[in-house]
Amino acid sequence: MAPAVLIENLQKRYGTVVAVKDVSFQVEAGEIFGLLGPNGAGKTTTLRALCTLTTPDAGKIEVSGISVLDNPKLARQRLGYVAQEVAIDKVLTGRELLQLQAALYHLPNAVAKQRIDTVLDLLGLQEYANKKTGTYSGGLRKRLDLAAGLLHAPDVLVLDEPTVGLDIESRFVVWDFLRKLRASGTTVLITSHYLEEIDALADRVAIVDRGVVIASGTPSQLKDQVGGDRITLRIQEFSPTEEAEKARNLLKGLPFVQEVIINSAQGNSLNLVVTPQNDALITIQQALITAGLPIFGIAQSRPSLDDVYLAATGRTLLDAELAAVANRDPKAEKKQNMR
């Protein structure tokens, strides 16, 4: 049986900007699959290529065995796409907007009526259905956008940052909705840079960095591969490089320390991978005090998806976000958006 989504060696360049360098992954039917990575990693470009909104320079894309590049019209019938930016007409009521969407999909009137009622119920929108969408809150607008993407009952629902900018309550509503979709057999492909969102929802995940998939698997598998507990240590709030190096060399000699990474983007803090043991923090503190090194802050935790990203790239997702903002090219972004 063909996977719900198959992407192999996808590449896309906008002028001199490489948006997607080499992305490959597949999504099985009936699962929630997460694409995790910072802004600028290539997630949105990958989704736009999948949904026939941009043509890749190279690569293979299939939806339920249908080639997106060779049969885009047929592929679009299997796909529902909800972009990061909400796209609804403020002068229409929620029901009118869904009726327009149904007409664009050429749904028979009886089928359209049934599906509109179904998606309104699913997303808790019945009491707002006859109100103009211009009066909706941000959370309601996002829910209506999701309803429009689901209206034609696609095999695969593709969501680009579906909860960005939403409050906590609205985010939980969307999460619950996506879990219900998975239970009904719909495949969901979701991009996000929210670690907790992907960890909570995704059956499997691919982490994308600078246009390349750097890790993939279930969240548990990825965190287990990193191994051990995490300890974050600050010698000072902003430690000199020499001091951080001295601490790293000292701590690497402890028998339970597996790895030490200096995070220069966060004041030369040290990120340790350690074999779990009760006295790890005490032993580290004693070793630093004996060496005459101060301790500004120290904390221990279980591995997270951010630790997976850190282990693969040497920086956290937050660091990558900040770097993307600092290196953003407005002209290249404008060209990309126009396409």
Q: What is the 3-state secondary structure (H, E, C) of 11-73?
A: EEEECCEEEEEEEEEEECCCCEEEEECCCCCCHHHHHHHHCCCCCCCEEEEEECCEECCCCHH
Query: Can you identify the CATH homologous superfamily of domain 5-220?
Result: P-loop containing nucleotide triphosphate hydrolases (3.40.50.300)
Determine the distance from the C-alpha atom of residue 193 to the mean position of all C-alpha atoms in its chain, rounded to a whole number. Answer: 4
pLDDT tens track for 85-120: 887 889 999 999 999 999 999 999 999 999 999 999
Helix axes 305-313 and 219-226, enclosed angle (nearest 10):
50
pLDDT of residue 230: 87
Would you say 264 and 322 are in contact if contact means Cβ atoms under 8 Å apart?
Answer: no
Each residue's pLDDT, cut to its tens digit, for the chain (339 residues) gives: 789 999 999 999 999 999 999 999 999 999 999 999 888 899 999 999 999 999 999 999 999 999 999 999 999 999 999 998 887 889 999 999 999 999 999 999 999 999 999 999 988 899 999 999 999 998 899 999 999 999 999 999 999 998 888 888 888 888 998 999 999 999 999 998 788 899 899 999 999 999 999 999 999 898 888 778 889 999 998 989 999 999 999 999 999 999 899 988 888 999 998 988 888 999 999 999 999 999 999 998 888 888 888 878 877 777 777 776 676 554 544 444 544
- Closest CA relative to residue 310, chosen from 275, 259, 274, 276: 259
- Closest CA relative to residue 82, chosen from 168, 139, 162, 24: 162
pLDDT of residue 332: 46
Domain 228-302 sits in CATH at 3.30.70.100
pLDDT of residue 324: 67
Would you say 162 and 273 are in contact if contact means Cβ atoms under 8 Å apart?
Answer: no
Tokens in use for 297? Answer: 């802050």
pLDDT of residue 290: 94
Would you say 274 and 257 are in contact if contact means Cβ atoms under 8 Å apart?
Answer: yes
Q: Report the sign of the C-alpha dihedral through residues 263, 267, 268, 274, in that order.
A: negative
The domain limits of the chain are: 5-220, 228-302
Regarding beta strands 187-192 and 156-160, do their DSSP bridges make them parallel or antiparallel, or are they unpaired? parallel
Would you say 293 and 234 are in contact if contact means Cβ atoms under 8 Å apart?
Answer: no
Write down the H helix ranges in 78-218.
94-104, 109-122, 138-150, 168-183, 195-201
| Amino acid of residue 28 | E
Mean predicted lDDT score pLDDT of the chain: 90
